[in-house]
Chains A and B, each alone.
Chain A
Amino acid sequence: MEITQERQPLLEVRGVSKAFPGVQALENVDFEAYPGEVVALLGENGAGKSTLMKILSGVYHMDSGQIRLRGQPTVPRDPHHAQQLGIAIIYQEFNLTPNQSVATNIFLGREPYVPGFFGTARIVDYQRMRREAAALLAQVGARFSPDALVRDLSVAQQQMVEIAKALAVKAEIIIMDEPTSALGPEEVTVLFDIVHRLKSQGLAVIFITHRLEEVFRVADRIVVLRDGRRVGAMPISQASTEAIISLMVGRALEGHTQVDAGRLGGDIVLEVRGLTRRGVIHDVSFSLRRGEILGIAGLVGAGRTETVRAIFGADPLDAGEIYVEGRRVHITSPEAAMQAGLALVPENRQRQGLVLIQSVERNIALPSLERLSRRRFVDRKRMRQLGHTYVDRLRIRTPSLEQRVLFLSGGNQQKVVLAKWLATGPKVLILDEPTRGIDVGAKAEVHSIMRDLAERGIGIIMISSEMPEILAMSDRILVMCEGRVAGILDRAEATQERIMAYASGATLAQADGNGR
């Protein structure tokens, strides 16, 4: 045996390469994870993070390279084998059966049998499953019963079930693929507590995220990939946001530009009064000027998405009035909202924004079909032109207009959703979490598109759970709490503390520390 360093890595990846037709997804990549460590794997979409993780979890097979687990060379053959080796992966989309109990889910496929005579009859020992599930749930600090049905749990709780599942197979390496993307701020804190707990139990956690501020909260070390190569690695103590971003994108991004004040003199383009949907939102009123970006902040469940869905006619309203350019409009369906000049980029681009199995061109054309057709038949030349125009204008990276959007990266998918709405020529563009789950480069592009649109006089409403995004992008910030407008802040007076205070139902005085 060679003389090793003071710490032996739990996982050691050396010189891994993997090519797909037309793309070198990974080229000679090294990676390592130590016991009791959280390592953040960073990189833009398409940098090779998922490919590397899929090789570790046995979904893909590497073309060349070496993997050592506890010093032993090994190759995960398939996800089941990877699990036996002690590598568990928790995907963004959970693999749970919603109508079954937590205990059943944790032991899915590995149910213990009743011992003795009944063992031969393979009768599931539910009592033992419950007991062991309860112990695993305690280990992650979960406070719900193993008998709870998965469908009754929140997203964060379901994630705990996934983690408990990984612990149940005695995983030593847990890979988390963007685990925070669907969580609210408090839930993220709970997740990080779990991660710290796992770490102190000697597990290695590989953490993939697009939110850099989280990296500083949770990671011990970072590894950065770009275009399939490892471009940097360092302990978190030596990392800075700027350094990480420039490693990820290979260049420095410009700082956020300040809004020029002249833009804000526009007329009121949208006004809503007293929007109410019983039990969901209550008496929501605000107005939006032409060329203004209105940020909507608040905790998950504060009624932000529900408000914009109601404005867009996707959900019915019990009361309230909507005015577009001073004229009262009756919006009872998305169709009517479109005709009134509204557009909504929904929260979940894959589920609500796109027809994934269809081409880029068709997705862009979908809301504009009427305009693109003559006598109810679609003019395919004009559809193609429209596609070209927006692929160029928004720099959508796609091999062709006929590519199914399924195969585009998250950032480019989001741009297709933007394109389809810009093509309708809206007066008001509503964006619900427009940069969730997309990489920093694409995020900067989406932001610059938004500013550009605002300069052209479109009124923009942006919901975001990311405080830095809200603060950097908005001219005014509307904060919601429990279905109501808790307050509206001007750009000049907005601070993270004030927004949080409104969002959590406190008063401004409390936030500024001179109240009580």
Chain B
Amino acid sequence: MSSEHHDESATHTYRRQNYLAGAQPLISQVARVARAQEVGVFMILAVMVLALSVFTDTFLKSDTIFNVLRAFSWIAISSFGQILVIITGGIDLSVGSVMALSGLTAAIAMNWWGAPVALGILVGLVTGAAIGLINGLLISKANLPPFIATLGLMSIARGVCSGIVGGWPVRDLPKSFIFAGQYDVPVGDWGVPLPVIFMIVLAVLMSLFLTRSVWGYRIYALGGNEQAAALSGINTGRVKILVYTLCGLLTAIGGLLMTARLGVASSDAAKGYELNVIAAAVIGGTSLSGGEGTVLGALIGAAIQQVLRTGLILSGVSAYWQEAAIGLVIILAIMMDQFRKRRR
């Protein structure tokens, strides 16, 4: 119909380039892996682990390793929710308070009202999801900026925590609840802490959800360009409500595991954890401007922070210096990420 020359040149270009792409699958795949977001931070983690194994004789013991893993598991689980939010271009500052509140409501249900453990856990999960839902509604229906909405909820949830219990912790939680945080599942010669298993299972599930499901595709599209996503028939409000609710739910799982591990639900538990959770996402390559981020990255980001803490303790550095070191790592990781992007 249109001009002949045209057809020819167009198909020609396309075929030739297709052929080129086919001719170097190995090279391009290696290059793709090397460019992948997680590689840079994974290298940092590997170097840290290597250095600690060489310079301390305690780090490589399975006990230490699993303690490290357990210690960051709840941060990691919450960060799986946080990345969903950040990929859509938002942020959730309420996660620290949600961890504390969900642990507290579960504890109250079990200890004050004598609810069975399963019901207690359900109460905790519903609490987290409900706060997430409120965040989502405030952001998508009332059009509040995510920073403001979740800053408000951070304060409200924390206030509710101390309000209900008057600042007193809830102690003597049921044995079978504490079990979830403290039991080690025997795998061969090792005892793998239950929270670690939760973390790994959730990482796999969330990764599948984010990279393969229709919702995952929409989440990335929304963060990449909200207007284009909306004009492509995506109900952006619904996607936002979903990610904040999921973030609340995952954070509640983290909060329950934390409470079970500590054996006590306190109104100022997990204070400031929102920054660790956001740091995990960001160190792991999640872009604060939206559209980019992976579960694996967040997992590594959470690991790096905990390995650093443990490393500092094992090397005899005062615990007071930890936060400074973590700040430094965040800055270095982001600088590296920027450098990687510029070279691409």
A373 and B214 within 8 A (CB) = yes
Contact B233 A335 (CB under 8 A): yes
Query: Which of A134-142, A231-239, A350-358, A482-490 participates in binding chain B?
Result: A350-358
Any A CB within 8 A of the CB of B220: yes
Whether the pair B224, A376 counts as a contact (CB closer than 8 A) is: no
With most chain B CB atoms within 10 A of its CB, the pick from A253, A355, A452 is A355
Q: Name the residue on B nearest A342 (C-beta).
A: B233
Q: Using Cβ atoms and an 8 Å threshold, which residues of chain B touch A369? A: 214, 217-218
14 contacts across the A-B interface (CB closer than 8 A): A251-B6, A254-B2, A312-B231, A354-B225, A355-B291, A362-B220, A373-B214, A376-B214, A377-B208, A392-B14, A398-B14, A400-B18, A400-B21, A444-B6
Residue from A370, A373, A378, A397 in contact with B10 in the complex, judged by beta carbons closer than 8 Å: A397
Using Cβ atoms and an 8 Å threshold, which residues of chain B touch A253?
Answer: 3
Q: Which residue of A lies closest to B17 (CB)?
A: A399
CB of A366 within 8 A of chain B?
yes
> Does A65 sit within 8 A of B, measured CB to CB?
no
Instruction: Name the distance in Å between B144's Cβ and chain A's nearest Cβ.
Output: 21
- The answer to whether A399 and B291 touch (CB under 8 A), given A253-B3, A367-B233, is no
User: How far apart sit A454 and B223, CA to CA, in the bound complex (Å)?
Assistant: 34
Cα A251 to Cα B214 in complex, Å, equals 45
Q: Decide if B225 touches A351 in the complex (CB within 8 Å).
A: yes
A367 and B229 CA atoms in complex are apart in Å by 9
A444 to B10, CA, bound (A): 13
Bound form: Cα–Cα A312–B233 in Å:
10
Query: Do the beta carbons of A378 and B212 come within 8 Å of each other?
Result: yes
Choose among B21, B218, B221, B232 the residue with the greatest number of A CB atoms under 10 Å from its CB.
B232
Q: Please state if B217 and A448 are interface contacts (CB–CB under 8 Å).
A: no
Give A374 Cβ to nearest chain B Cβ, in Å.
Answer: 10
Cβ contact within 8 Å between A355 and B224: yes
- Residue contact A420 to B21, C-beta cutoff 8 Å: no
Q: Assess whether B225 is in contact with A356, with CB atoms less than 8 Å apart.
A: yes
Which parts of B206-257 form the interface with A (CB within 8 Å)? 208, 212-215, 217-218, 220-221, 224-225, 227-235
Query: Shortest beta-carbon distance, A146 to chain B, in Å?
Result: 32
* Cα separation A338 to B218 with both chains bound (whole Å): 16
Asked whether A366 lies within 8 Å of B217 as measured between CB atoms, the reply is yes
CB proximity of A154 to chain B, nearest CB, Å: 21
For A367, give the chain B residue with the smallest CB separation. B232
Shortest beta-carbon distance from A238 to chain B in Å: 25
Known contacts A335-B233, A354-B228, A373-B214; is A391 also within 8 Å of B14 by CB? Answer: yes
B1 at the A interface (CB under 8 A): yes
A376 contacts B21, C-beta separation under 8 Å? no
Q: Are B6 and A351 in contact (CB under 8 A)?
A: no
In the bound complex, CA of A444 to CA of B3 (Å): 9
> Chain B residues with Cβ under 8 A from A268's Cβ?
none
**Given known contacts A376-B213, A399-B20, A448-B1, A357 and B291 CB-to-CB distance under 8 angstroms:** yes
Check A333–B217 contact: CB distance below 8 A: no
1/0 contact string of A240-257 vs chain B (CB within 8 Å): 000000000001111001
Please give, as numbers and ranges, the residues of chain A lying within 8 Å of B213 by CB-CB distance.
373, 376-378
Within 8 A of B (CB), among A362-403: 362, 365-367, 369-370, 373, 376-378, 380, 391-392, 395-400
Question: CA separation between A369 and B216, bound complex, in Å?
Answer: 11
Residues in B whose Cβ lies below 8 Å from that of A397: 10, 13-14
Q: Given the complex of chains A and B, what is the CA–CA distance between A104 and B247 in angstroms? A: 43
Q: Establish whether residues A441 and B214, one from each chain, have CB atoms under 8 Å apart when the complex forms.
A: no
Which single residue of chain A is at the shortest CB-CB distance from B344?
A: A404
Q: How distant is the Cα of A317 from the Cα of B80 in the complex, in angstroms?
A: 39
Cross-chain contact A378 with B230 (CB below 8 angstroms): no
Q: A334-B233, A444-B2 are in contact. Are A352 and B214 (CB under 8 A)?
A: no
A299 and B218 CA atoms in complex are apart in Å by: 36
Given contact pairs A369-B218, A395-B10, a sample of 10 additional A-B residue pairs in the complex whose CB atoms are under 8 Å apart: A251-B5, A334-B233, A335-B234, A344-B231, A351-B228, A355-B228, A357-B224, A395-B11, A441-B6, A452-B1
Which residues on the B side are within 8 Å of A303 (C-beta)?
Answer: none
Residue of A nearest to B222 (CB): A355
| Contact call A377/B231, Cβ cutoff below 8 A | no
7 tightest A-B CB contacts, nearest first:
A355-B224, A395-B10, A448-B2, A338-B233, A335-B233, A367-B232, A355-B225
User: What mask results when residues 262 to 285 of chain A are scored 1 for a CB within 8 Å of chain B, else 0?
Assistant: 000000000000000000000000
A361 to chain B minimum Cβ distance, whole angstroms, is: 11
How distant is the Cα of A398 from the Cα of B14 in the complex, in angstroms? Answer: 7
Find out whether the CB atom of B217 lies under 8 angstroms from the CB atom of A420.
no
Is the pair A352, B21 in contact by a Cβ cutoff of 8 Å?
no
Contact, CB under 8 Å: A346 / B231: yes
Set of chain A residues within 8 Å of B13, measured between Cβ atoms? 397
Contact partner of A337 among B5, B11, B229, B233, CB < 8 A? Answer: B233
Tell me the complex Cα distance, A376–B3, Å. 42
How many whole Å from B6's CB to the nearest CB in chain A?
7
A20 to B3, CA, bound (A): 30
Q: Considering the chains assembled together, what is the distance between the CA atoms of A391 and B13 in angstroms?
A: 12
Q: Is B38 an interface residue (CB 8 A)?
A: no
The interface residues of chain A lying within 8 Å CB-to-CB of B224 are 355-358
Instruction: List chain A residues, Cβ under 8 A from B214.
Output: 369-370, 373, 376-378
User: Which residues of chain B come closer than 8 Å to A334, judged between CB atoms?
Assistant: 230-234
Question: Which residue of chain A is the closest to B10 with respect to CB atoms?
Answer: A395
Contact yes or no, A376 B215, CB < 8 A: yes
Are B17 and A400 neighbours in the complex by a CB distance under 8 Å?
yes
Report the bound CA distance from A445 to B230 in whole Å: 27
**In the complex, A153 has a CB within 8 A of chain B:** no
B292 in contact (CB, < 8 A) = yes
Contacts known (A378-B214, A445-B2); A353 close to B228, Cβ less than 8 A = yes
Asked if A422 CB lies within 8 Å of chain B CBs, one says no
Contact with B along A194-210 (1 / 0, CB 8 A): 00000000000000000
A358 touches B227 (CB 8 A): no
A259 contact set on B, CB distance < 8 A: none
With A353-B231, A355-B228 already in contact, the answer to whether A377 and B212 are too (CB < 8 A) is yes
Render A427-457 as a binary contact track against B, CB cut-off 8 A, 1 for contact.
Answer: 0000000000000010011001001100000
CB distance from B141 to the nearest CB of A (A): 14
Task: Determine if A314 is an interface residue (Cβ-Cβ < 8 Å).
Answer: yes
Question: Scoring B residues 1 to 41 as 1 if CB is less than 8 Å from chain A, else 0, what string do you get?
Answer: 11101110011011001101100000000000000000000
In the complex, what residue of chain A is closest to B215 when comparing beta carbons?
A376
Cβ of A222 to closest chain B Cβ, rounded Å: 23
Shortest Cβ distance from B225 into chain A, in angstroms? Answer: 5
B282-310 CB contacts (< 8 Å) to partner A: 291-292
Query: B221: which A residues are within 8 A, CB to CB?
Result: 355, 358, 362, 366
